[in-house]
């Protein structure tokens, strides 16, 4: 702050508060809706304050779900989402860190070509080439499996670049010292590189967990059996099914449950989240 201008500071506070309200409004409305019963919406507009049916609605969704929509209980879908998010985050980190190690610490024929092959994945989002990718997965018999849900999504150019940057900043003296002490490449990787990139791994994990949890189109296409529905993809099926008979209170309870884990991760690990976000994009 350069000069003391109380009026301007007040204006800044008001702007930020308005921003917080805009950002929170849809979630507040969803929360309120999720604590009422279906009949409370019949009057024409939804209530503005929470009602008494919070525990009842959430317990019902977690336990049994809406049977008429053909979706499994929300508890099952959240478990599927969790498995998917963890597999994607861990898988991406594992295959990226080894690739970056190979690219930075070895010279081998076709190294540049390998690097460019990985780089291409950055340019081709799954939405763009959805039809042929779906055919490949179907031909491999991977529909309705955790493998089909996760493996096609775990190639990552951004994570490889990030680890490459990290490794390039690690001083050569460390590598020399390790080699003089007789450490082979894998021992060096395990005992020096992994511990040194611990915070980068954690930051990346936060971002990738959110990425995996929020996947929508891919699980929607890959899962036709309700056993493998994820919550983010399942919620749409539920909203479609209730169009005739509005059960918005249950849909909104599901929406709240769908955003709870990733939002908790962002708020609980804000420092790592910001670090991960800035690093993966630069």
Residues 249-268 that bind other proteins (CB under 8 A): 251-252, 255, 258-259, 262-263, 265-267
Q: Which is nearer to other proteins, 23 or 55 (CB)?
A: 23
- Interaction residues for other proteins, span 59-78 (CB under 8 A): none
25 lies in the site for other proteins, by CB under 8 A: yes
Tokens of 264: 């908790």
Minimum Å gap between C-beta 95 and other proteins is 4
Please give the span between the terminal C-alpha atoms of the chain, in angstroms, as a whole number: 28
190 lies in the site for other proteins, by CB under 8 A: no
Q: Which of 104, 147, 196, 241 binds other proteins (CB under 8 A)?
A: 104
Q: What is the DSSP string of 81-93?
A: HHHHHHHHHHHHH
138 lies in the site for other proteins, by CB under 8 A: no
30 lies in the site for other proteins, by CB under 8 A: yes
Residue 95: exposure state from Cβ atoms within 10 A (0-12, 13-18, ≥19):
middle
* Cα separation, 212 vs 257, whole angstroms: 16
Taking residues 166 to 185 in sequence order and writing x for each that binds other proteins by CB under 8 A, - otherwise, the string is: --x---x--xx--x----xx
* Cα separation, 48 vs 64, whole angstroms: 27
Tokens of 141: 């018999």
Minimum Å gap between C-beta 55 and other proteins is 21
Q: Which stretch binds other proteins (CB under 8 A): 7-15, 51-59, 70-78, 195-203?
A: 7-15
Q: How many C-beta neighbours within 10 Å does residue 76 have? A: 19
Q: How long, in residues, is the chain?
A: 282
202 lies in the site for other proteins, by CB under 8 A: no
Minimum Å gap between C-beta 59 and other proteins is 21
Q: Which stretch binds other proteins (CB under 8 A): 22-30, 57-65, 70-78, 193-201?
A: 22-30
Spell out the residues 6+ positions from residue 48 whose beta carbon is closer than 8 angstroms to its own. Answer: 32
Distance of CA 116 to the CA centre of its chain: 26
């Amino acid at each position: 702050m350069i000069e003391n201008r109380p009026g301007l500071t007040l204006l800044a506070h008001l702007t930020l508060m308005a921003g917080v309200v805009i950002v929170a409004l849809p979630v507040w409305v969803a929360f309120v809706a999720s604590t009422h019963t279906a009949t409370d919406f019949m009057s024409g507009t939804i209530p503005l304050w929470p009602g008494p049916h919070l525990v009842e609605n959430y317990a019902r969704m977690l336990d049994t779900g809406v049977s008429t929509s053909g979706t499994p209980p929300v508890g099952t879908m959240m478990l599927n989402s969790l498995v998917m998010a963890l597999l994607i985050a861990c898988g991406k980190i594992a295959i990226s860190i080894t690739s970056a190690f190979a690219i930075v610490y070895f010279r081998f024929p076709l190294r540049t070509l390998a690097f460019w092959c990985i780089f291409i994945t950055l340019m081709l989002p799954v939405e763009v080439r959805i039809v042929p990718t779906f055919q490949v997965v179907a031909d491999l018999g991977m529909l309705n499996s955790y493998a089909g849900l996760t493996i096609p999504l775990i190639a990552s150019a951004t994570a490889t670049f990030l680890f490459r940057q990290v490794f390039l900043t690690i001083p050569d003296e460390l590598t020399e010292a390790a080699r003089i002490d007789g450490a082979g490449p894998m021992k060096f990787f395990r005992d020096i590189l992994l511990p040194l990139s611990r915070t980068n791994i954690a930051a990346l994990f936060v971002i990738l967990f959110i990425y995996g949890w929020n996947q929508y189109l891919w699980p929607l296409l890959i899962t036709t059996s309700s056993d493998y529905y994820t919550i983010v993809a399942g919620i749409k099926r539920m909203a479609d099914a209730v169009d005739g008979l509005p059960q918005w209170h249950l849909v909104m309870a599901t929406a709240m449950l769908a955003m709870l884990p990733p939002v908790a991760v962002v708020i609980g690990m804000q420092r790592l989240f910001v670090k991960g976000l800035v690093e993966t994009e630069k």
